[in-house]
Amino acid sequence: MPSREVPLSLLHERVNGWYAEAGRKELPWRAPDATPWGVFLSEVMSQQTPLSRVEPIWREWMQRWPTPADLASAAPGDAVRAWGRLGYPRRALRLHEAARAMVERHGGEVPGRPEELLALPGVGAYTAAAVSCFAFGIPEVVVDTNVRRVLARTREGKAFPNLTLNRAEAQLAADSMPAERSTANTWNVAVMELGALVCVARGPRCDECPVADLCAWNVAGRPAYDGPPRRGQSWHGTDRQVRGELLRRLRDAHAALPLARLEDSADDRTQVMRCLDSLVADGLVEPLEGERYRLPA
């Protein structure tokens, strides 16, 4: 379906105006005094994780490690333990590695330029663009799942974007950016927030949407999605669940545990050992003599 010609200036005005009234500006990393480090932490923590779960962990990290140097001086295992149950715990190790890189390369500061951010461990295109924009006011094109969904609906008339970001979607996001710097920076967070709160994946609240009358998908009668199947992620019985249980036991123990205290983390001992080996390979668990394991020191 070809893109509908949406008046972009009106789209920007409506979405940015809606954000001024309804956006979650109480989030601590959106406060005027938020530090670049606080923004950086929030962007890494919130990947594939609801902000309601991120905020308490973010506050704990900022109290314990208010600067990159503070985290860099801690043990990697401390970062994994403090990560709690946010999910995808490799992010905790990558944050620790990124903090060390900031100390070694940037005097303990978060770099502002996208190319410098991209050179940090674990930082991809989205995080680099988001930190540049939200921490330093550089109007990079910030594209996450929420942004892709809003643009697919408003400008292309599709219920959902493609399963993965492609070049055409990236170009659509770039073309949809306001030209003026401050308006562009507001747009980046506003369109993301619209996707998170109103233009949601299931049960979109079109009656609350500030651009419902401009939205190609809504105007067309909200046609059903006709692309490849969009399967949700399973959890129970998966390696992800077993890895999470192994890490939970090691976090709660605050000490090395013998294999006997870990091998019943699932009914299938073979699966447990496979997951334990994968955690060791990822650097999230450290094996010790006598078949004992701990978080990395």
Per-position pLDDT tens, the chain of length 297? 444 567 899 999 999 999 999 999 899 999 999 999 999 999 999 988 889 999 999 999 999 999 999 999 999 999 999 998 888 899 999 999 999 999 999 999 999 999 999 999 999 999 999 999 999 999 999 999 999 999 999 999 999 998 889 999 999 999 999 999 999 999 999 999 999 999 999 999 999 999 999 999 999 999 988 877 766 667 688 888 899 999 999 999 888 999 999 999 999 999 999 999 989 998 999 999 999 999 998
Res 231: pLDDT? 65
Res 4: pLDDT? 52
- Give the end-to-end CA distance of the chain in Å, rounded to a whole number: 54
108: left (phi over 0), alpha (psi -120 to 50) or beta: left
Res 232: pLDDT? 60
User: Rounded to two decimals, what is the model's pTM?
Assistant: 0.84
Structure tokens at 262: 């870990």
Structure tokens at 68: 């990159």
Res 240: pLDDT? 87
Any idea which residues carry the catalytic annotation? 43
Res 1: pLDDT? 42
Res 233: pLDDT? 60
Angle in degrees, CA 153, 156, 157, rounded to 5? 55
* Closest to 105 (Cα-Cα) out of 91, 90, 118: 118
d(CA 85, CA 236): 15
Are 216 and 248 in contact, with CB atoms under 8 Å apart? no
Domains, in order of start, for the chain: 9-136 (1.10.340.30), 142-219 (1.10.1670.10), 239-294 (1.10.10)
Res 107: pLDDT? 97
Res 15: pLDDT? 98
Res 32: pLDDT? 92
Residue 292 φ/ψ, nearest 5 degrees: -115, 155
